[in-house]
Amino acid sequence: MFTADAFIDTVQTSKKTFVNTFVTNETAKSAMIEFIDAQADYTKKAAKVGQDTFTTLASESMKAYQNATKFDYTKFGEGIMKAYTAQTVKK
């Protein structure tokens, strides 16, 4: 199964590297690193929820398709025709 965690970690690590390289104020640096960590946490959770949602929808769609293919359309059509014929004969 594909997870986006590796990609998210790569992007966030590059952000941290940039901050550690170019930001000299330690207070600002620590605040920015904390923000980057919070972004990573949020993004990983959002990606997991998105993946779980997609998996659930795909599974339910497959179940609906399988149930639809089990339906006997010929028998249904014959029943409709019998009902129609019975209605036209009564007139």
Domain locations in the chain as residue ranges: 5-90
23 by Cβ neighbours in 10 Å (0-12 / 13-18 / 19+) ranks as middle
CA–CA separation, 6 and 33 (whole Å): 18
pLDDT tens-place string over residues 25-71: 999 999 999 999 999 999 999 999 999 999 999 999 999 998 888 87
pTM value is 0.67
89 band by pLDDT with thresholds 50, 70 and 90: low
- Residue 4 is classified by DSSP as S
The confidence score (pLDDT) of residue 2 equals 64
The confidence score (pLDDT) of residue 74 equals 83
